[in-house]
Amino acid sequence: MKRKLHIRKLFLVMLMAIIITGCSTNRNVSKSGENKETTSKESGTLVIVRLSDAENLDHHFMNTINAASVTHGKVYEGLVGRDKNANIQPLLAESWNQVDDKTWEFKLRDDVKFHDGTPFNASAVKTNFDRLLDPNVKAPRAGVFKMVNEVKVINDYTVQFILNEPFAPLLSILASHEGGIISPITIEKFGKNIINEPNGTGPFAFKSWTPGQEIVLVKNNQYFGEKAKVDEVIFKIVPEETTRISMIETGEAHIAEPLSVTMKETVDASTRMEVYRSEGFGTEYIGFNVEKKPFNDVRFRKAISHAVEMDAIIKGVFNNIGKKANSLLGSQVYGFHDGLEAYEYNLNEAKKLLAEAGYPNGFETTLLTMDAKERINLAEVLQSQLKGIGVDVKIQVMENGAFVEQRNRGDSQMFISSWRNATGDADYNQYNLFHSASKGSAGNTFFYGNEEVDRLIEAARKESNQEKRKQIYAQVQELEMKDAVYIPVRVIENLAAISKNVDGFRISAAGYLEINNVSIK
């Protein structure tokens, strides 16, 4: 019976694919059902269909890996980058040296130009960080470089970062999208406004953006490094997952992401596409806004935490894809605390705590989530589980951009979210998600503040001894769990559907789409 249902589901997907193909003006379909490219240009175009659009294309203002995936490493590049094993590698900087605890010196490449023809040099680096750190610009990503006092030009191709205090994970931040270098001409043009016409040094140049529809990049033939293998990349916004998968089946697209666990079977059964899987740095979690009543009472938050049966969620919602998390750090992230224990499932304890918090008869609350299938399924399971302690949950589903905006401004009580961790270092989680200076759009959408947590996060940033840093992060994670700021759900496993005629695609542990080496057979 299960097999018949599966075949029926696959038949429906194929039927949709035929309908879509019939409406397409870009493809011809042979009698055998095989799709053929109509022009040689089309064979050089990589089409990626995605759930949601970027909120903007300015690395100084980006708050999501979803947006950064479009530009990071493709249009914008940093002084350093990461290889496929997440090791730091030279990029726009040929080498670097830590002169002392507060001074880092970078020797820059002298053969790089921005897409507009402007030479890349030390002055361009300084212009970028001056803009990012300018309080009048109010860039939400400025906080991650809070420790930088000055970027000093030594000569045309040497630059120094002068820090206010020692900062151990500097290279990991420079390798993330916040460290991407924008053309100074573009910065001059847009000033304090958000840049929506990116201009960098990468293997792809920006061509166009039609908000809500598509973003188009083209190959940079003047790139100093290894050239991209495709002529053009189109990121199409296709909210309906069934349609995204159908577009792979018909040949109208090459990569569909994200892929939900519920559609994985369908992709596995196809002869035209396959499932891409890789473990990420990030985690999914249920967050509490600790400034909103009754979530400002730790007893109430602990009651909710004890009422969630996570093992059932991992199996029932996620089909055991992505292992159960015990914190907001993925197991591959530096500083992960493998001994940390989340709250056990215990309804009696949950009811006791709820009564102590002044809600013996339960409470009515709203759970905010984005419109991804698994998130909605998770919200519905949570709604059912929390009924067991008398908490009536109303689910509010929003498009991703609207969800991010509402969560960032604190207009939520509970929310389902994720943090991808762009650097692989615990600091990126801890400072952005839990430090009181990061409340709101910078990442701390729990609106959480704890002086001891702040102190420990700042101490870990300065500590050069790696074992001591790990011990500090273990302490701070235990404090956050004691305060029941969130409920960890699972370590994210990156899933995508890719056409079998695509080679070289991967998703980094940070969650960035890596397409520079993609080729189409």
CATH of the domain at 266: 3.40.190.10
Q: Using 50, 70 and 90 to split pLDDT, how confident is the model at 368? A: very high
Does the pTM exceed 0.85?
A: no
Of residues 166, 157, 201, the one with CA closest to residue 180: 201
Task: Please report whether residue 195 resides in a domain.
Answer: no
- The pLDDT value given to residue 86: 87
Portion of the chain with pLDDT greater than 70, in percent: 92
Give the CATH number, domain containing residue 176: 3.90.76.10
Asked if 184 and 209 sit in the same domain, the reply is no
Q: What are the two backbone dihedrals, phi and then psi, of residue 113, each rounded to the nearest 5 degrees?
A: -130, 150
- The pLDDT value given to residue 20: 38
What is the distance between the terminal CA atoms of the chain, rounded to a whole angstrom?
Answer: 37
- The pLDDT value given to residue 262: 87
Helix (H, G, I), strand (E, B) or coil at 411: coil
Asked if 330 and 461 sit in the same domain, the reply is yes
Of residues 110, 120, 101, 106, the one with CA closest to residue 154: 106
Read off the pLDDT of residues 424-475 as tens digits, 9 standing for 90 and up: 999 999 999 999 999 999 899 999 999 999 999 999 999 989 999 999 999 9
For residue 56, what is the DSSP state? -
- Domain of residue 334 covers 279-493
- The pLDDT value given to residue 64: 87
Read off the pLDDT of residues 326-347 as tens digits, 9 standing for 90 and up: 999 999 999 999 999 999 999 9
Q: Using 50, 70 and 90 to split pLDDT, how confident is the model at 2? A: very low
Asked if 174 and 303 sit in the same domain, the reply is no
C-alpha pair distances (Å), 44 with each of 37, 231, 247, 371, 475: 10, 5, 17, 32, 51
- The pLDDT value given to residue 36: 38
- The pLDDT value given to residue 29: 30
Mean pLDDT, range 72-78, rounded to an integer:
98
- The pLDDT value given to residue 144: 87
Asked if 300 and 447 sit in the same domain, the reply is yes
C-alpha pair distances (Å), 171 with each of 78, 106, 138, 180, 400: 10, 11, 23, 12, 30
List all residues 6 or more positions away from 244 whose beta carbon is below 8 Å from its beta carbon. 49, 50, 51, 238, 253, 256, 497
Lowest-confidence region among 62-66, 173-177, 216-220: 62-66
Instruction: Give the separation between CA 354 and CA 390, rounded to whole angstroms.
Output: 9
Higher pLDDT, 249 or 19: 249
Asked if 283 and 410 sit in the same domain, the reply is yes
- The pLDDT value given to residue 31: 29
Q: Using 50, 70 and 90 to split pLDDT, how confident is the model at 309? A: very high
Residues facing residue 216 across a β-bridge? 208, 234
Looking only at the bridges linking them, the beta strands covering 363-370 and 204-210 are unpaired
Q: Which two tokens stand for residue 269?
A: 């059964």
Please state, rounded to an integer, the average pLDDT across all residues of the chain.
Answer: 91
Asked if 184 and 309 sit in the same domain, the reply is no
Asked if 10 and 114 sit in the same domain, the reply is no
- The pLDDT value given to residue 16: 44
Would the pLDDT of 113 be above 80?
yes
Asked if 50 and 88 sit in the same domain, the reply is no
Read off the pLDDT of residues 117-169 as tens digits, 9 standing for 90 and up: 999 999 999 999 999 999 999 998 898 898 999 999 999 999 999 999 999 99
Task: Please report whether residue 273 resides in a domain.
Answer: yes
Number of domains in the chain: 3
Looking only at the bridges linking them, the beta strands covering 363-370 and 414-419 are parallel
Q: Which residue has the tokens 């542990």?
A: 509
Asked if 80 and 29 sit in the same domain, the reply is no
Read off the pLDDT of residues 474-487 as tens digits, 9 standing for 90 and up: 999 999 999 999 99
Asked if 315 and 459 sit in the same domain, the reply is yes
Q: Which residue has the tokens 């018949």?
A: 4
- The pLDDT value given to residue 10: 44
Q: Which residue has the tokens 């910078």?
A: 442
- The pLDDT value given to residue 34: 37
Mean pLDDT, range 240-269, rounded to an integer:
95
Asked if 306 and 349 sit in the same domain, the reply is yes
Read off the pLDDT of residues 280-305 as tens digits, 9 standing for 90 and up: 999 999 999 999 999 999 999 999 99
Instruction: Give the separation between CA 490 and CA 321, rounded to whole angstroms.
Output: 9
Q: Which two tokens stand for residue 201?
A: 């040094």
C-alpha pair distances (Å), 41 with each of 172, 392, 501, 520: 38, 55, 16, 12
Mean pLDDT, range 272-278, rounded to an integer:
96
Lowest-confidence region among 30-39, 100-109, 401-410, 482-491: 30-39
